[in-house]
A and B are shown apart, each in its own frame.
Chain A
Amino acid sequence: MDTLVTQLDRLPLLSLVTLAPLAGALVILCLSQRSVRAIQTVALLATGFSLALAAWLYARMSAFPDATGFLWQELHPWLPEFGMQYHLGVDGLSMPLVLLSGIICFTAAFISLQIDFRHKEYFALALTAMTGVFGVFTSLDLFCLILFYEMASIPMFFLVGIWGSDKTGLGKPIRRQDAAMKLLLYLQLGGGLVLLGIFGLYFLSDLKTFDYPELLRATLAREHQSWLFLLIFLGFAIEAGLVPFHTWLPDGHSSAPTALSMLLAGVLLKMGGYGILRVAVGLLPEGARIWLPLIGVLAVVNILYGALCALRQTDIKLMIAYSSVSHMGIVFLGISSMAWPQVGTGALFGATGAVFQMFSHGVITALLFGLAGTVYLITHSRDMTRWGGLASRMPWLATVYTLGALGSLGLPGMSGFAAELMVFLGTWQQRPFLAVLAICGLVITATYLLRSVQFAFYGPLNPRLAEVRDALPAEKLPLGLLALTTLVLGLAPRLLTDVTTPALQAILERLAS
């Protein structure tokens, strides 16, 4: 057994995880447009392979809690004269997000079976984007990271614009093409700012390298750190839905096809959060200490503003998208508590809570989008008020949606609670007032989510929908997997915290010194 494992370790494991979807996309491009079944099978195999490998790597990492630094590194020179290389590796911060990407990509591929036209282009583009997503989390070279980032974001434009859905009904109508353009512009703006910041790092650090572990040794002047942090933070924050740069999020997420909503909310937002932790906070400790306190205030704005906006929506996908804005506020709040790494356990709880929330929100929101999209497919309406009483026709979807809504509102036993508890516990040790405001968001969250459950599934059945079906097995499998993940993590949060703690402690030590 041991020998087998060591043999396997010689393989480029992370490259396999990262590039499997891209390989799938290339295979699909060689297939005929009409062989739909083959295209779908390739997509499922590719993402399933990535998920299985990511899960195996995760299990191995959690079996060695003392391992520090980056594991399974692959380093190949690429443009050495510019300090660029193909460098992959994971630690306790990125490994959970790689696993998250695996879960979301696999379930999204499954839900994509609902797509009923232009399969070849759809799956090729979606799989390319998935490789980008994996790559962001596995890259240890900042230039690689930016490339993967672009690889993840540009296909979204086509996927939303072609396969998305228009918002009609109450409020301002949104065309999917406009939403796609907005999404692309915002993601490019974010990416541009990050790129500027990374070039700044490259030139100001005198190391002339994009390699992350080497940049960790860089010493930068305080004022340089300050504005570099601001650039990089802002770039990633736009992607993570920071108010007031969030408006691409509701439009883009709600207009996207179901699987893309899952991918966008599930992992694309987390690329922002991860980037802030890894690049901005990780490389620029001085800058972080300057700006993090302010970020806590913005985080509370995010939490309350997103929740209140969600309360106003009747379009279920818009409501979930605004709930993402609110929940990403928890991530920002957790990150901001890292500003005081010396005091008590606040910073550690806040940072762990932020990572936990990224994972948890990714799973829960993907679940909710998957459910909402499936009900939309069945009822042909995204407007909750045009549903009603669906529980008696789709008991499975109603049960799992209720479960997802409860998870999202932070019910104990589900992953969202553990995340929020850690963030609140961390924030309270430093700035109780911010925690008080953030806690107040809980009641708004409960209101809009339970209202959506009531509008959609409770009450008398709408006669227009008297003959609708429940979920099919091909929908139950991915959605059930997501629901199971949040339950398992909610009951045993140590499965995640034990992996993240060493990596986060390393970042906090850098911040404290």
Chain B
Amino acid sequence: MHEQVAAAALEGAAANVWLVPLLPFLAFLIISFLTRPWGRVSAAVSILALTGSLGVSAQVFWQRFTQDAPPMQVAVPWITLAPDHPLGTIELGLLVDNLSAMMLLMVCFVGLCIQIYSTAYIQTEIAHFPTQGSASMSRFFGWMSLFTFSMLGLVLSHNLLEIYIFWELVGLCSYLLIGFWYFKHSAAEAGKKAFVVTRFGDLGFLMGILMLGVALKGFDFLGLSQKFTQGIPEGLTAGFVALAAVLIFCGAIGKSAQFPLHVWLPDAMEGPTPVSALIHAATMVAAGVYLVARLFPVFHPAGHAGEAALLVAWIGGITAFLAATIAVVQNDIKRVLAYSTISQLGFMMAGLGVGAYTAGSFHLITHAFFKSLLFLGSGAVIVACHSNDLWRMGGLRRHMPFTWFAFLMGCLALAGVPPLAGFWSKDEILGYVYAAPGGMALFLVLTFSAFLTAFYVTRMYFLAFEGPYRGAEKAPADLAGPVPPLSLPAPFPTSQALDVAPEWTEEMATSSQEDLPAACRGAGMEHVPHGLHAPKEVSPWMWGPLLVLALFAVFLGFAGVPTGVGLGLPNFFEGFIHLSGEGHPHEFHWTPMLLSVVVALAGIALGAGLFAGNPERGERRLRSGLRLVWPFLQQKWYLDHLWARALAGTMYAGALTMAWIEANLVDRAVFGLAGSVRSWGDWLRSEHTGKVQHYALMLLLALVLLAVGIGMVEPGFFTSRQFVINLLEGGR
């Protein structure tokens, strides 16, 4: 990574860096134990703490930006068993380098925008549920603070085991916040799915950590990186390193929702929208990308092709393409954005896979800004229209001008229109892939995904903001509704596979609503106003953060303009985040840049052509044009079904088998043994009849048996002299 001089201790502003995660954690404690009943106070505590963190991280960032200092770290032992052995201690520490300083700033800043937005937003969601009160707001901000703490801890992690700890903790917060409205069956199910699916990836992650750490006798990032600067470390084979890297990458696949473990992220949209913006767009899902960037030398050992890196690149490419295609057919505005997030994370992975360390990290940062902007914008739209369905929107440009402007900027950035942020960062990845040896196929896949991106963004924009407002009444019945339709069997059949059904289900709750207490109705208690009200602009607490984020979506890209473009701007980003000792600075190519502009414009043109005038007709043309591909995309490439059968099915089949063995083999053997003991006892008992004749007979039989036995053991016994004497003298 950087020049590996021995890492320095924390100095200057960085000496206070422990405050950055600590403040949100304190906020979590205060909210949980002190301010629970007062939602607004809790919000204030949470925001205040995060502001403090932002201040410290800005100082740290400025220190790193202005001084060319080596990475700084500090560590304390967490578990010490054998202090003098390299593998005898597990440490917790803080690592401050340029990458983590930048991530800190991003997480704090985006998090703060989202929390300010949430103060107004979460109240609108709470108002939908009659049983929920101010404590729900406290619960929300408490968990948001806990998440922020975990995410900041993850960013500052100093070794692999520590990053695994925070990795699991952000997963926990994701689980809690997806299932925030716990009385909704769908939310509870989605939370569990997110946790379990990502844990599949984490199995590999933990194995990879142990494999690499045990082999190299250390877990800390700087030490590991150092061992790889001269190529594969001594004593290890390239295959071993590649396998360890792939296992670690499994964790990134799960957390960053890469193919094939991406299935949890769209369902995670059950959480409140700010949660989707913070966790499932800007920060946590980027943790996988961050991990790969942290371990860049492990994926790209000097002087080796890096099979693991190739896998990373192609997983990224496939994910970018797959998610972009599914995003095209979604009707739920949040699901469009969710698939878009998956797709963009794929771009980042592809970039890191081909060695574009700077470009991948740059896209991570720009994406965090414009995607959280888009999610928050969608939240504002949902509040105004009381629906997630794009077909129930329309014409919002005139009703909500601030939201419209901010959202449009986000759309343009995501579509890759120059000179907005998304253009520069995505283009840099494409340029790298283009230049990489053998990267042409991947380049074509990614370019086509970029085209699709521009197309679905345009579709979403026109459906929501242009034309007349449709509302619930004028929504086209044949086009609107969830994708895939809810009538299909659930693709993750948790309960059916075990013949287990809860006594009380969501359907029963919705079918008999009248005389039930509110809490028994679950999602059915949601209070949605009916009638065609014109949507209104949301409160300034919500559009204010939108405009701030829009500012970044527009201008952040100028921080990383390639020097070859000739705008006369220095490439700040590359100057700050780059690999050490890179002999060949990335060569700039005009071809991919022009091509990416062309595909972006083409995608927008196609989208506008179909959806600008009469969106219903355009959608019908799109569906008929896609023919059989449409249902395939609608069913999400049938991957959820595949997973349900392959993974969940295997696990439940295992459970059924083991339970069968338990009942029919193990327990039966035990009972069989007990039964046989009992029947022996019964048989012996039946001999105790109480009749003297019977006992006498038994006595005689026993004597005969004894005599025969003795006779067999010692044939001459009964004829011996001693026996006769004994017999006659009665043993005297």
Contact = CB atoms under 8 A, between A and B. Distances in A.
A118 B161 CA distance: 52
B684 interface: no
A349 B175 CA distance: 31
A188 interface: no
Task: Across the A-B interface, give the 3 residue pairs with the lowest CB-CB distance, nearest first.
Answer: A460-B522, A458-B188, A312-B659
Contacts of A406: 172
A459 B651 contact: no
Interface stretch (B195-203, B292-300, B457-465, B604-612): B195-203
Contact of B206 (A439, A447, A462): A439
Interface stretch (B104-112, B274-282, B370-378, B501-509): B501-509
A272 B166 CA distance: 34
B655 A344 contact: no
A296 to B, nearest CB: 16
Given A312-B659, A451-B192, A461-B517, A413 B165 contact: yes
Contacts of B206: 424, 439, 442
Contact of B504 (A391, A424, A464): A464
B519 A392 contact: yes
Interface string A113-153: 00000000000000000000000000000000000000000
Contacts of A247: 662, 666-667, 670
Interface of A is mostly: helix
Interface stretch (B83-91, B283-291, B392-400): B83-91
B479 to A, nearest CB: 30
Contact of A460 (B185, B655, B662): B185
B80 interface: yes
B703 interface: no
A172 B187 CA distance: 33
A83 interface: no
Interface string A335-365: 0000000001100110010000000000000
A454 B202 CA distance: 22
Given A345-B87, A462-B504, 12 more contacts: A247-B670, A308-B658, A308-B659, A309-B658, A312-B498, A314-B500, A421-B161, A439-B206, A460-B505, A460-B522, A461-B520, A497-B79
Given A247-B662, A312-B655, A460 B195 contact: no
B696 interface: no
A174 to B, nearest CB: 10
A393 interface: yes
A466 B517 contact: yes
Interface stretch (A39-47, A93-101, A160-168, A381-389): A381-389
Given A345-B82, A389-B519, A421 B199 contact: no
Given A309-B662, A348-B82, A424-B206, A412 B195 contact: no
A405 B81 CA distance: 28
Contacts of B498: 311-312
Contact of A389 (B77, B179, B183, B191): B183
Contacts of A385: 500-503
Nearest to B247: A436
Contact of B88 (A348, A444, A454, A462): A348
A501 B500 contact: no
26 contacts: A244-B666, A308-B654, A309-B659, A311-B655, A312-B659, A314-B500, A345-B88, A348-B81, A386-B503, A388-B504, A389-B519, A392-B131, A421-B161, A425-B87, A439-B207, A444-B654, A450-B191, A458-B185, A459-B502, A459-B504, A460-B509, A461-B522, A463-B516, A466-B519, A494-B78, A498-B80
Interface string A414-456: 0001100110110011001001100110111011001100110
A202 interface: no
A503 to B, nearest CB: 12
Nearest to B131: A392
Q: Please indicate which of the listed interface residues A172, A313, A389, A439 has the most CB atoms of chain B within 10 Å of its own CB.
A: A389
B183 A462 contact: no
Contact of B168 (A392, A411, A444, A462): A411
A355 B161 CA distance: 21
Nearest to B658: A308
A459 B667 contact: no
B203 A439 contact: yes
A401 interface: no
A480 to B, nearest CB: 12
Interface in A363-395: 385-386, 388-389, 391-393
A443 B175 CA distance: 15
Nearest to B524: A460
A58 interface: no
Contacts of A464: 503-504
Interface in A302-343: 305, 308-309, 311-314
Contact of A344 (B87, B168, B189): B87
B520 A435 contact: no
B74 interface: no
Contacts of A210: none
Nearest to A493: B79
B494 A451 contact: yes
A454 B503 contact: no
Interface of A: 170-172, 182, 185, 243-244, 247, 305, 308-309, 311-314, 344-345, 348-349, 352, 385-386, 388-389, 391-393, 406, 411-413, 417-418, 421-422, 424-425, 428-429, 432, 435-436, 439-440, 442-444, 446-447, 450-451, 454-455, 457-464, 466, 493-494, 497-498, 501
Nearest to B663: A172
Q: Please indicate which of the listed interface residues A244, A406, A451, A461 has the most CB atoms of chain B within 10 Å of its own CB.
A: A461
Contacts of A417: 165, 168
Contacts of B79: 418, 422, 493-494, 497
Nearest to B162: A412
Interface string B486-502: 00000000100010111
Interface in B633-687: 651-652, 654-659, 662-663, 666-667, 669-670, 674
Contacts of A451: 192, 494
B662 A466 contact: no
Contacts of A432: 210-211
A442 B651 CA distance: 12
B588 interface: no
A455 B169 CA distance: 23
Nearest to B185: A459
Contacts of B185: 458-460
A311 B81 contact: no
A214 B488 CA distance: 71
B335 interface: no
Contacts of A494: 77-80
Nearest to B648: A447
Nearest to B512: A463
A446 B648 CA distance: 13
Contact of A412 (B169, B211, B670): B169
B196 A461 contact: no
Contacts of B405: none
Contacts of A436: 207
A445 B80 CA distance: 28
B532 interface: no
B182 interface: yes
A418 B161 CA distance: 11
Contacts of B704: none
A305 B658 contact: yes
B214 interface: yes
B521 interface: yes
B18 to A, nearest CB: 15
Contacts of B196: 443, 446-447, 450
A459 B192 CA distance: 12
Interface string B131-150: 10000000000000000000
B659 A459 contact: no
Contacts of A170: 500
B211 A389 contact: no
A124 to B, nearest CB: 30
Given A412-B164, A421-B90, A389 B520 contact: yes
